[in-house]
Amino acid sequence: MSMISETTSRPRLQRSNFVREILETVILIGLVFTLVNLATVRFYIEGPSMQPNFWAEQFLIVSRVHYLLGNPQRGDIVVFDPPGDDGTPNEPLLIKRLIGLPGEHLEMINGQVYINGTPLDESYTKEPCRSNCADRAWDLGENEYFMMGDNRNNSRDSRVFGPVTKDRIIGEAVIRYWPPQDWGLVTRYRFPES
C-alpha cells in the first residue's frame, strides 16, 4: 500500500492593510469632528445674568440642530446675537431664557411677567425684579421672541434691546461640560399648560 501524499493548499487569510485601516480611522474621526462642529457651538458664560441656574466661567454645548428641526419653546435656554450688535467684541453673543413666543402680548407689571394677561410662574429666577422692571408691554411679531435673564436685576435682555428674531438665534444650550463638578444636561423649565 502506498501512501499518496496530496498537497492541498490551504486558503490564505486576507491580511488587513494596517496603513489603510489607520487612514480610514483618521478620516472617520475627522468626519465625526466636522459634523459635531457643524451641529454644535461651544459657549462660555460671562457675567451673572443667568444666576442662580448658570454661573460665570461655565462652558456649554449649544445645539444648532434643535431649531432647524423645530421652533424655540418657552423656557429654552437660548444663545443668540442681540439686535443692534455690530459684531465687535464689546457685544458678544448672549445667553438668556426664552420667555415670549411669536404673536404673544407680554407685559411687565410690578416686576411680574404676564403672557396674554396670565402671570408667568418663574420659580427659576434669582430674586424678585426690582431694577429695569418698569411697567411696560410688548406685542411680539410672527418671527419675534422675548429673552430674559434669570437674574432679572442684573441682565441686559429683551427689556433693553427688544424682541429677537429667529434668524439671530444660534441655538439651544443642551450640555454643561465645564467645570467638571457642574457637568450635566441642561433641562428646559416646563411651564404649566395654560
Residue 49 catalytic?
A: yes
- Cα–Cα distance for residue pair 187/174, rounded to 1 Å: 7
One-letter amino acid at 70 equals: G
Instruction: Point out the catalytic residue in the list 2, 5, 49, 166.
Output: 49
Q: Is 35 helix (H, G, I), strand (E, B) or coil?
A: helix
- Cα–Cα distance for residue pair 116/25, rounded to 1 Å: 55
Instruction: Point out the catalytic residue in the list 5, 16, 63, 96.
Output: 96
> Cell match 422692571: residue?
133
Sheet with 105-109: list strands edge to edge.
Answer: 118-119, 112-115, 105-109, 136-139
Residue 126 catalytic?
A: no
> Cell match 411651564: residue?
191
By annotation, the residues acting in catalysis are 49, 96
